[in-house]
Amino acid sequence: MANINDVARLADVSIASVSRFFSKPELLSKKAHARISEAVAALNYHPNALARNLLRSRSGNVMVLVNDITNPFISQVITEADKAAQARGYSVLLGITHHCADTEEKYIEQIRSKVADGFLQLSATERPMQLAREKNIPYVNLLECPPEQDLPSVQIDNIAAAFDMTSMLIAMGHRDIACLKGEFSDDYPSPVTTDRVQGFCRALAAQHIDVTPEWMLQGDYSPASGVAAAQRILSMAHRPSAVFCANDYMAFGLIRGLKDAGFRVPEDIAVTGFDDIDIALFNNPPLTTVSQPIEQLGWTAMEMLIDIIEGEEIVDKRRRLAHKLILRGSASK
């Protein structure tokens, strides 16, 4: 198997010139570049990725920090980000933090010690982003960037998406609309949860519909919290005619809870979700939902992160991708 010395000998150049051919070819003369290119082809030489990264002071790895990967939407986004990383010659390491600040700091310390060259953060936790800025670690927030901060981030406009879905329910004739909110606490003040609730309330206000406090239901993005919300709705003297759910997983649980009690969806209560994960189409009934561009989210965020790692100038740091409303059987006109 040929090595860099063989290439340098055949091309009649220095080893440093061969290294430069793979790292900074623009610094070579046209003549030297042509000779090295011919030698590489003749010897079928492939540079050692680890050695090349060491020369560049890089690991060739990027890390994805996420609280939990059981949600299929999150798993799909990470899968797309991994594809984008591989296309750029990087490998992905997964750091599952379980909402633990100590675990987050452990992963950041590993990244700082060059286990990885930067990270994607799929949560709203401020500490990893703060540490990244203090230690000059490249990072991009994917999906949950705090709105008041001008940080490198990729997501949709959650306020506009919730507004559009709620407005569609109103256009269908619904005025008694509940909202099943996602996870939110003092320890985890999720911008996604806040924005989706805000969009819901804005849509009601735009049509002069009052928010009914009893119909603002607390969930945690899990199917079980959807089932629990169904039980709360069934106990109400005055039930809503439609429910806007802040993600698909809760909508699935809500529909299951309503159907188990003998209610029909959408005839008795219409239900909408948010995300458009793969199985939303196969739910019974198929789920009306906000579609996020899952592939584009993962690719855009990873491309941005690698561009930052490689020293590219990032002009548009806060990227907002387009959403779509998908009308299916769980809330039909």
pLDDT in tens, 139-180: 999 998 877 677 899 999 999 999 999 999 999 999 999 999
- Here the CATH number for the domain that contains residue 281 is 3.40.50.2300
Span 6-10, average pLDDT: 89
Which residue range forms the structural domain that includes residue 314? 61-156+294-321
What is the per-residue pLDDT for 326?
Answer: 97
Measured from the Cβ of residue 201, the count of other Cβ atoms closer than 10 Å reads: 18
The pLDDT of residue 274 is: 98
Examine the domain organization and report whether 83 and 188 are in the same domain.
no
Q: What is the pLDDT of residue 79?
A: 96
- Quick one: 299 and 311 in the same domain? yes
Sheet strands side by side (includes 270-275) = 216-218, 177-181, 242-245, 270-275, 288-291, 324-326
Q: Is there a domain that residue 136 lies in? A: yes
Q: Per the domain annotation, does 333 fall within a domain?
A: no
Q: What's 266's DSSP letter?
A: T
- Domain annotation covers residue 250: yes
My answer on whether 27 and 72 are in the same domain is no
Q: Examine residue 299 and state whether it is found in any structural domain, yes or no.
A: yes
The pLDDT score that the predictor gives to residue 51 is 53
Classify the C-alpha dihedral 272-291-320-140 as positive or negative.
positive
For residue 18, tell me if it sits in a domain. Answer: yes
**For residue 163, what pLDDT is reported?**
98
> What token pair was written down for 86?
């591989």
In this structure, the answer to whether residues 174 and 89 fall within a common structural domain is: no
- Regarding whether 281 and 163 lie in a shared domain, the answer is yes
The residue whose two tokens read 């490689």 is: 310
Q: How far apart are CA 22 and CA 326, in angstroms?
A: 46
CATH number of the domain residue 46 falls in: 1.10.260.40
Residue 331 is assigned to a structural domain of this protein: no
pLDDT at 237: 94
Whether residue 143 sits in one domain with residue 65: yes
Residue 207, class by beta-carbon neighbours within 10 Å (0-12 exposed, 13-18 middle, 19+ buried)? Answer: exposed
Regarding whether 162 and 79 lie in a shared domain, the answer is: no
Query: By C-alpha distance, which of 239, 117, 264 is closest to 178?
Result: 239
- Check whether residue 134 and residue 174 sit in a common domain: no
Question: So what's the pLDDT on residue 316?
Answer: 87
* Average pLDDT over all residues of the chain: 91
Domain match, 144 and 194 both: no
Q: What is the pLDDT of residues 56-115, one digit of tens each?
A: 567 889 999 999 899 999 999 999 999 999 998 899 999 999 988 889 999 999 998 889
50 and 71 co-located in one domain: no
List, for residues 285-321, the tens digit of each pLDDT value: 999 999 999 999 999 999 999 999 988 888 888 999 9
Residue 327 lies in a domain: no
Q: Of 223, 235, 213, 145, which Cα lies nearest the Cα of 182? A: 223
Which residue in the block uniquely carries the two structure tokens 């051919």? 21
Residue 249 in domain: yes
The residue among 327 and 33 whose pLDDT is bigger is 327
Q: What are phi and psi of 63, to 5 degrees?
A: -110, 145
Q: What angle do CA 105, 110, 111 make, to 5 degrees?
A: 95
- Number of independent structural domains in the chain: 3
Residues 286 and 312 occupy one common structural domain: no
- Let me know whether 225 and 209 are in one domain: yes
Rg (CA), the chain: 25
Range scoring the smallest mean pLDDT among 7-21, 114-128, 167-181, 252-266: 7-21
